[in-house]
Amino acid sequence: MSFDLLESAKSIFNDNVVSQASSQLGESEGGIQKALSGIVPVILGGLLSKAGSSGNAGGLLDMVKGVAGDANPSAISGALQGGAGGLISKGSDLLRSLFGDKVNPIIGMLSSFAGIKESSASTLLQTAAPATLGTVGQYAVQNNLSPNSFLSLLDSQKDKILGAIPGGLNIAGILGLSSLGDLGKKLGMTGDTATTSAGAIDIKQVPTSNRWVWSLLLILVAIILLWYLMRGCGGNKPGGMPVSDSITTSQLADSASMSVATTPVETRESIKVTLPDGTVLDAYKGGIEDQLVAFLKDDTRKAGKDVWFDFDNLNFKTGSAELTEESMKQVGNIAAIMKAFPKAKIKIGGYTDRTGDSADNLRLSKERAESVVTSLKKDNTNAAQLLGAEGYGSQFAKAEASAPDEERKKDRHISVSVREK
C-alpha cells in the first residue's frame, strides 16, 4: 500500500485528542474537528509552498526529521494539558518558518472558518504543526530519504493535500498566489530540477557525432565569461559599487517598509498616535507604533509567541550593531508605548537574509536585537517588561541568497514580539 501523507497526519488527531481539545479549550467537538480539517492540510500546504520556493530541500528535510518524535497523540495531549509547553513553542517556530508573518492571518481565517476563538485556533495550530510535520519526518527517517527523494515525495502527495484544503480557507491568497494550482506548479518545477541534478540526463547518451558541437559551445561560453570578468575588473563601468550582503548592510530593513520600497519615504502618511497616558507620538500610518498601540488597546486580540511587529524606521551603522542617531526616535516611541502599557511584555528578534556566512548572520542578528533592548533600557523602559533578545539569522528567510535585493530586503528586520498585554 502506498504511503498517504495526509491520512497519516490526520490519523494522529483521533477522537480522544478531539475530546480533550474540546474540554481544554472550551470549544465544541464539532468546532475542533472542523478546525483540524483545515489545519492539517494548511500546514502541509505550507510545507509544499516552502519546498517550492526556498531552494533548501536539505534544510526542510532536517526540520521535519527533527520533529519525527512528536507525531503521536500523546504528545498532543500533553501539550493541551499544559504539560508540554515546549511543543507549542516548537510549533510556533515551525509555523513562522513556513509562513513568516502570515501566521496571524491564518489563525484568524481558521477561527472564522471553524467558528472557534482565535486563541483556540492558535493553540490548535501550534500544537498540530510539530505532529503534522513529524509525520513527514517519520517517513523520511524510516525510508532514509535524500533531499531529492523528499521533494519527490511531496510532489507525489501535493494533489491530495491541496484538494483537502477547504474552500473557505483562502490559503493561496495569504501566500500571495493566484490559486493553489500555482503552488503545485512551483513544487513540480523544483522537483524537475532535483531530478535533473540527480542525473536524469545521461551525458553518455549524446551521440558521438555531436560532441564537437558541445565542445565548441563550451569554448565560446568560456571566452564570453573571461571577457565579462576582465571587463568588470577593468573598471570600465564608472561609479560601480560593491554589492552588500546582510552582514555589511547599513540597514536591517523590515518587511513592512519593503512592501512600499519603490515609494519614497516622504510619501508615507504621517499620523499622531495618542497613548493612554496622554503622550502623543509622531509616527507613520501602518508603522510599528500605529500597529502596536492598536493591538495593545484591542482586548479581543491575544498576545503570544506568534505575535510580531516589525520596526520600520530602524537602521544600524555598516557591519555593526550600533544604532544610527535617526533610529533612536522610533526606539524612544516604543519605550513610551511600554510605559503607557505597563502590563505589556515584549521580546526583540533579529533577522537577516540568506547571503553571507550563516554563523555571522546569526551572531549579528542577535547583537542587533540586544542593541535595541539596551537602548530601550536607556530610555527608562521597565526591565521587567523586556523578556530579552534573540537572533534568528537567516532561519526564517524566504528569499534565496541569489534573489534580487528587493526580495532579500524583506528578510532583514528587527521585530517586537508581544508576549503579554
**CB of 161 within 8 A of CB of 41?**
yes
Please give the order of strands across the beta sheet that includes 345-351.
308-310, 413-420, 345-351, 386-391
Distances in whole angstroms, Cα of residue 418 to Cα of each of 23, 215, 228, 311, 347: 27, 60, 50, 13, 7
Helix, strand, coil in percent for the chain, rounding step 5: 60, 10, 30
Longest dimension (CA), the chain: 84
Phi/psi-derived region of residue 100, left when phi > 0, alpha when psi is between -120 and 50, beta in every other case: left
Q: What is the pLDDT of residue 52?
A: 79
Q: What is the pLDDT of residue 375?
A: 96
Q: In b/e form, how buried is each residue of 294-319, taking b as 16+ CB within 10 angstroms?
A: ebbeeeebbbbbbbbbbbbbbbbeee
Distance of alpha carbon 34 from alpha carbon 45, whole angstroms: 17
Distance of alpha carbon 154 from alpha carbon 186, whole angstroms: 12
Q: What is the mean pLDDT of each run of 10 residues along the chain (421 residues)?
A: 85 90 91 94 90 80 90 80 67 89 89 92 91 93 91 90 84 72 56 38 39 65 64 41 35 35 55 94 93 94 91 86 92 96 96 88 92 95 95 89 86 94 94
**CB of 323 within 8 A of CB of 365?**
no
Q: What is the pLDDT of residue 408?
A: 87
Amino acid at position 274, single letter: T
Q: Which helix (H) or strand (E) segment is 417 a member of? A: strand 413-420
Which of 192, 171, 168, 172 lies closest to 182 in space, CA to CA? Answer: 172
Q: Which set of grid coordinates corresponds to residue 415?
A: 521585530
Return the SS3 of 213.
Answer: helix
Return the SS3 of 324.
Answer: coil
Which of 252, 255, 325, 249 lies closest to 287 in space, CA to CA? Answer: 255
- Angle between the 288-297 and 328-340 helix axes, to the nearest 10 degrees? 10
DSSP codes joined into one string, 151-188: HHHHHHHHHHHHHHS-TT--HHHHTT-S-HHHHHHHHH
